[in-house]
Structures are given as structure tokens and as C-alpha cells.
């Protein structure tokens, strides 16, 4: 691991984060039988060559951090791309499906472990993962610890992620009020799709008032719900949280797409990417190819192979072409008009789908579900493995005094 002294300067997140982030939750047994068989170095190298230079992972995603870290340190990547050329995102606090530890000791351990797994001297952005599962005071303590790690140079930006938009707004407001400092980022998943547009103008206004710099949209396919095969036939069938009625309603969207010579997932991805670049722009990225200062909503798209990557990039590139200013360049204007025509067609299809969804439009399932109990035992909160990870970090950064303030972090 390199010295943290070489960290790049910290600008506002909107100036640093790319508008398209490659999600690697797919580097996990929940999505593929053996994620270690994925050609991850080739996928990551191709992403960087295309200019998709942001990656999202989490220790909760099985071996995702290990696979992504090994891919980023592969000679095929390091020979062409310096660490400063890509944006690396991970999370902390969620250990397993029903197990959470937001204690400062665990958050510090989790971040230090992510640094080692990802072979990086710093993390660009760290979220507290699925914040709705713990109490607001726990979220507040965890965010404060992430900010201490930020001040030490291990983390550049701090955010929260989760499913219920209302809860994300409440916590963003609480953090700003209690600390006097707003969050850099909030990530919502499954709430700006053709089925659910809860992450709309009202929520965005609340995030803006809470000072959140960037709001990201993830899971445009509703974790497989908005696909031709549907959630029941996908890898998440056994634990997808959607009720049967919603699954059937989204299955009924397949023939609507087919009648328009489209596939449901193509319509879903195009609509979300296209509309979020605009609707998410007030809390978006300035780091696109558009004129300086132009903000574009930031989207996270899960990728498990090169074909998916290239298709996602192609669609996103076309969406950006529709945002290009008018010019005398005939070819650029042709692409711009094609994008706008495509936008109009997809919107027409989606409006027919909304009629089919009926009461299921903008439906959100409960998270956490009824009867949720954190399986992390009270006596285990803040207790971390005595595996040397924290000592290695302390030795490299000379912040042992901070570690000593949390004896449990050393396995005491």
C-alpha cells in the first residue's frame, strides 16, 4: 500500500465523481455461480479504456472487494491506469443480511480492511451501508468516524446509502443539524425506475436543503424485477423483497415492451439513465464531457461481463449526446436528434407501462421488513478481528493514538 501522503487534493464531490459508476455487487454468488470465474481484470480494463472510471463495491457483496481489488492491481490495468485516474467507492456497517455494526471501532476496521482488499492508499467515497437498519444515533456516530478517517487521509468523501428515500432524507437532515456539516453523498436504489419514481423533485429538494452535494441512483432494474425473465426466474428469486403482486405487475410489462419492438430491460435502463441525467442534475456530477459546470445525474449500473459494460456505455453515451448543446457540427446534431427521438419513443412506451402498473406504480416495499432484528450480539458490537489490519494502518499512518482510544478495535 502506498503512503497516504500522496492523496490527491479534496475538491467538492460533484467535481470529482464521474456520472456513470460501474457497480460490482454482481461480483458475488448472489448473481453468478462462481464470481472468481468472472474475467474481472478484462472487465475493469475495458471499463477504464472506455472512460467508465468509477467502481462501487462493498464488503457485504461477498468477494466483490477482493475481486475488484485484484483486478485493479492486475498488470493489464496498472500498466495503463494510475490510481488517481479512477474513483473508488465502498461501504461499511453491513456485515451480513441481518447483521450490522455501526460502532466507530467496526467502521474503522472495515475501512482499513477495504484499503487492503482494494490495494489502495485511499478510498474516494465510503457510504454507511443500508442506514435504515440501525438507529439514527448509530448512523451519526458512524459518519463521525468516517470523517475522522477522512481527516487522516484514508477516505475522501462520506455518504449514506439505503432503500427508503424518506429515511435517507431524514438522516441527511439530522446529520447536517447535529454536525453542522452536510453529507457529500446519498445513494438510493430502486427508487428512480420505470416502476418507482419516489426519488423525484420533492426528495431532491430535501437533499438540497440538507446540503447533500451528490445524490446517486442505483438499481435501475429493481434488482432484476424489471427484466424479461423477472425476479422469480433470476438469481435473487429466493430473497427478492418484492411482494407477489408487484412481481406479477412488472411481468405484465414484458408484452408492452414487445409490442413496441423493445425488451423490458432495455426500456428500463434507457428511461432511468436518460431521465436521471436530467432530474438528478441539481445534485449531479460536473465531471462529464459537457460544457464546464454542467451537472449530470449520477447513475450506478451493475456489470458482470464485457457485453453488458459496452452496451451500458453505449446507451449512456447516447443519452449524453441528447444533452449536447446545439452546434454547427452536422454529425453531432444528427446524434443529438437521434437521442431525443429515442427519448420520446421510450417515454411513450413507459407511459403505457404506467397504465399497466396501476396501484403498483411508485410502490416501495418495507425496509427493514417486519420483525427485523439485528443478529449482531450486543457484546460483539465494536469487537473486531485481531488480524493485524488496524495495526498495519496505524503503522503506515502514525495514528496509533486514535486506535488506542478504541481498545476493542485491537481485539482487547
**3-state class (DSSP) for residue 127:** strand
Among 47, 68, 49, 46, residue whose Cα is nearest residue 57: 68
Residue 1 domain-assigned? no
- Separation between Cα atoms, residue 244 and residue 235, nearest integer Å: 16
- Contacts by 367-371 with C-beta closer than 8 Å and gap 24+? 367/130, 367/132, 367/133, 367/162, 367/163, 367/164, 367/241, 368/132, 368/133, 369/241
- What are the distances in angstroms from CA 173 to CA 209, 385, 399? 8, 34, 31
Match 471499463 to its residue by C-alpha cell: 47
- Prior bond of 25 cis (ω within 30°): no
- Cβ atoms of 147 and 107 closer than 8 Å: no
- Separation between Cα atoms, residue 47 and residue 28, nearest integer Å: 19
Match 451500458 to its residue by C-alpha cell: 312
- Cβ atoms of 196 and 360 closer than 8 Å: no
Residue 4 domain-assigned? no
- Reading the block at residue 221, the C-alpha cell is 432494474
Helices and strands (H, E) in the chain, number of each type:
15, 10
- Separation between Cα atoms, residue 356 and residue 215, nearest integer Å: 29
- Separation between Cα atoms, residue 326 and residue 330, nearest integer Å: 10
Around 105, how many Cα atoms within 13 Å sit in the side-chain half-sphere?
16
**3-state class (DSSP) for residue 203:** helix
**pLDDT number for residue 399:** 66
- Reading the block at residue 67, the C-alpha cell is 475481486
Residue 396 domain-assigned? yes
CA-based radius of gyration for the chain: 21
**pLDDT number for residue 239:** 82
* Known catalytic residue at 393: no
Residue 51 domain-assigned? yes
- What are the distances in angstroms from CA 284 to CA 45, 213, 405? 25, 8, 37
- Reading the block at residue 172, the C-alpha cell is 441527511
**pLDDT number for residue 4:** 45
Residue 14 domain-assigned? yes
**pLDDT number for residue 412:** 26
**pLDDT number for residue 123:** 98
Q: pLDDT by residue for the chain (412 residues), tens digit each?
A: 444 444 555 799 999 999 999 999 999 887 788 889 899 999 999 999 999 999 999 999 999 999 999 999 999 999 999 999 999 999 999 999 999 999 999 999 999 999 999 999 999 999 999 999 999 999 999 999 999 999 999 999 999 999 999 999 999 999 999 999 999 999 999 999 999 999 999 999 999 999 999 999 999 999 999 999 998 887 777 889 999 999 999 999 999 999 999 999 999 999 999 999 999 999 999 999 999 999 999 999 999 999 999 999 999 999 999 999 999 999 999 999 999 999 999 999 999 999 999 999 999 999 999 999 999 999 999 999 999 999 999 998 876 434 334 333 333 2
Which residue range is the domain that position 122 belongs to? 10-410
Residue 3 domain-assigned? no
Alpha helices in 58-212 (DSSP H): 64-72, 75-78, 104-117, 136-152, 165-179, 201-209
**pLDDT number for residue 32:** 81
CATH of residue 288? 3.20.20.100
- Separation between Cα atoms, residue 134 and residue 138, nearest integer Å: 6
Task: Give the total number of structural domains in the chain.
Answer: 1
Cβ atoms within 10 Å, residue 37: 8
Catalytic annotation, pick one of 61, 122, 127, 393: 61
Buried b (16+ CB within 10 A) or exposed e, 329-358: eeeeeebbeebeebbeebeebbeebbeebe
- Cβ atoms of 69 and 41 closer than 8 Å: no
- Reading the block at residue 309, the C-alpha cell is 459494460
**3-state class (DSSP) for residue 23:** strand
pTM value is: 0.93
Match 438540497 to its residue by C-alpha cell: 208
- Cβ atoms of 36 and 65 closer than 8 Å: no
Match 500522496 to its residue by C-alpha cell: 6
Helix axis angle for 330-357 and 244-251, nearest 10°, is: 130
Buried b (16+ CB within 10 A) or exposed e, 267-296: bbbbbbbbbbbebbbebbbbbbebeeeebb
Helix (H) or strand (E) holding 92: strand 87-92
- pLDDT tens-digit readout, 125-142: 999 999 999 999 999 999
Amino acid at each position: 500500500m502506498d503512503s497516504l501522503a500522496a492523496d490527491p487534493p479534496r475538491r467538492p464531490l460533484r467535481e470529482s465523481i464521474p456520472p456513470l459508476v460501474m457497480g460490482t455487487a454482481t461480483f458475488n454468488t448472489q448473481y453468478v455461480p462462481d464470481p472468481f470465474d468472472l474475467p474481472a481484470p478484462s472487465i475493469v480494463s475495458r471499463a477504464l479504456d472506455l472512460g467508465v472510471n468509477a467502481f462501487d463495491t462493498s464488503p457485504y457483496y461477498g468477494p466483490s472487494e477482493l475481486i475488484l481489488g485484484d483486478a485493479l492491481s492486475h498488470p493489464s490495468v496498472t500498466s495503463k491506469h494510475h490510481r488517481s485516474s479512477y474513483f473508488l467507492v465502498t461501504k461499511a456497517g453491513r456485515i451480513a443480511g441481518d447483521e450490522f455494526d455501526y460502532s466507530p471501532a467496526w467502521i474503522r476496521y472495515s475501512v482499513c480492511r477495504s484499503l487492503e482488499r482494494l490495494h489502495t492508499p485511499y478510498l474516494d467515497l465510503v457510504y454507511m451501508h443500508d442506514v435504515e437498519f440501525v438507529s439514527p444515533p448509530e448512523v451519526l456516530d458512524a459518519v463521525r468516524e468516517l470523517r475522522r478517517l477522512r481527516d487522516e487521509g484514508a477516505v475522501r468523501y462520506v455518504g449514506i446509502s439505503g432503500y427508503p428515500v424518506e429515511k435517507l432524507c431524514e438522516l441527511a437532515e439530522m446529520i447536517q443539524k447535529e454536525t453542522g456539516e452536510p453529507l457529500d453523498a446519498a445513494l438510493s436504489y430502486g427508487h428512480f425506475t420505470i416502476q418507482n419514481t419516489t426519488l423525484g423533485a420533492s426528495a431532491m429538494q430535501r437533499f438540497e436543503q440538507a446540503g447533500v452535494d451528490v445524490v446517486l441512483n442505483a438499481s435501475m432494474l429493481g434488482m432484476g424485477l424489471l427484466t424479461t425473465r423477472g425476479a422469480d426466474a433470476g438469481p435473487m428469486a429466493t430473497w427478492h423483497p418484492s411482494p407477489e403482486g408487484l412481481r406479477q405487475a412488472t411481468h405484465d410489462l414484458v408484452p408492452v415492451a414487445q409490442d413496441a419492438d423493445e425488451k423490458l430491460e432495455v426500456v428500463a435502463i434507457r428511461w432511468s439513465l436518460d431521465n436521471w441525467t436530467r432530474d438528478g442534475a441539481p445534485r449531479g456530477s460536473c465531471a462529464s464531457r459537457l460544457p464546464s459546470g454542467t451537472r449530470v445525474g449520477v447513475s450506478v449500473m451493475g456489470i458482470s461481463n464485457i457485453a453488458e459494460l459496452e452496451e451500458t456505455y453505449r446507451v449512456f453515451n447516447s443519452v449524453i449526446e441528447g444533452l449536447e448543446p446545439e452546434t454547427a457540427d452536422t454529425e453531432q446534431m444528427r446524434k443529438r436528434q437521434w437521442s431525443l427521438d429515442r427519448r420520446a419513443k421510450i417515454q411513450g412506451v413507459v407511459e403505457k407501462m404506467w397504465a399497466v402498473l396501476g396501484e403498483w406504480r411508485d410502490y416501495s416495499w418495507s425496509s427493514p421488513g417486519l420483525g427485523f432484528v439485528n443478529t449482531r450480539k450486543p457484546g460483539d458490537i465494536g469487537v473486531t478481528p485481531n488480524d493485524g489490519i488496524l495495526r498495519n494502518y496505524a503503522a503506515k499512518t502514525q495514528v496509533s493514538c486514535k486506535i488506542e482510544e478504541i481498545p476493542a478495535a485491537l481485539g482487547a
